[in-house]
Amino acid sequence: MADDDVKKSLSDRMGDRFDNPSRSEQDDEDEDTNETESSQPEKSSKNAKNAKNAKNAMLAKNVKEDWNATSVYLPEFLDRQLTTTYKHADLDYEEQFGKSLQKTRYYYPLVVSLGMECIEEMDAQELKECMERLEEEASEE
């Protein structure tokens, strides 16, 4: 096989694996069928499917087309902190790996995901205390 044929074949296979949304949908359908036939508990099957769907979502070619947009309104001091934290993280990431940390694809989803993890671990009293600290921080600005 010529180099061009090898490259095309590899490109086609990789494209099918990562770029073809219909393949991902087919994989999801196949997984649903396999999970129904398996002896795993239903909750475990749902968790596996959710993890697979989340992974497929993270492989989107164009996040602005494929993901949902959500507006978030922030006070100025939090907006500044969000930007500053991104700049620091991006600089560290670029120094370590030689490429930029993509804000829309990775930074914002990480902020939301990690924030949700923290909030899920809080009880109502801890949540109230955090809200009060946030209000105090805002009044100091």
Query: pLDDT tens digits for 72-104?
Result: 999 999 999 999 999 999 999 999 999 999 999
Query: pLDDT tens digits for 106-131?
Result: 999 999 999 999 999 999 999 999 99
Rounded distance between C-alpha atoms, residue 21 and residue 68, angstroms: 16
Average confidence (pLDDT) over 5-13? 55
User: Which pLDDT value is given to residue 61?
Assistant: 86
By C-alpha distance, which of 136, 77, 66, 81 is closest to 111? 81
- The position carrying tokens 């590899």 is 10
The alpha carbon dihedral of 130, 136, 139, 140 has a sign of negative
Distances (CA, A) of 29 to 7, 34, 48, 83, 135: 30, 9, 13, 40, 47
Residue type, 118: C
What is the model's pTM? 0.59
Query: pLDDT tens digits for 24-74?
Result: 343 444 434 444 444 445 555 655 665 666 667 888 888 888 898 999 999
